[in-house]
């Protein structure tokens, strides 16, 4: 039986923040590169950049700072705002999993067995 997954999507008007963008932010923080974070997720360089640009445009302050490549190489890092957004998103995910554990179990128990094994 496949474990139940909880996927949080937050909508702020036209701006959406969900698991993919959160994972991309985490990857940038860990890899120091937008392209490396995208590759790690199986995402094209163009798609990763488009998501970063959308987040940077949608928040009051950019979430990601980047430097172009060159002799010293490029790179990317989360800004303070990016770190705050990612930390708050992960905390909210954890709170929802914990607070909603009983409800998730109730719903999961009502799912057909052939649907919960990944088929």
HEC-encoded secondary structure of 37-101: HHHHCCCCHHHHHHHHHHHHHHCCCCCEEEECCCCCCCEEEECHHHHHHHHHHHHHHHHHHHHCH
pTM of the full structure: 0.87
pLDDT in tens, the chain (119 residues): 677 888 999 999 999 999 999 999 999 999 999 999 999 999 999 999 999 999 999 999 999 999 876 555 679 999 999 999 999 999 999 999 999 999 999 998 999 888 766 55
CB crowding 28-47: b at 16 or more within 10 Å, else e? bbebebbbbbbebbebeeee
């Amino acid at each position: 039986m496949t474990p139940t997954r909880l996927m949080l999507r937050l909508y702020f008007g036209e701006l959406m923040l969900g698991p993919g963008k959160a994972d991309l932010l985490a990857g940038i923080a860990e890899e120091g590169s937008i392209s490396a974070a995208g590759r790690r997720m199986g995402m094209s360089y163009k798609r990763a950049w488009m998501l970063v640009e959308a987040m940077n445009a949608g928040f009051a302050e950019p979430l990601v700072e980047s430097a172009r490549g060159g002799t010293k190489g490029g790179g990317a890092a989360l800004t303070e705002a990016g770190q705050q957004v990612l930390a708050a998103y992960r905390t909210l995910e954890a709170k929802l999993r914990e607070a909603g554990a009983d409800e998730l179990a109730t719903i999961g128990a009502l799912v057909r067995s052939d649907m919960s094994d990944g088929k």
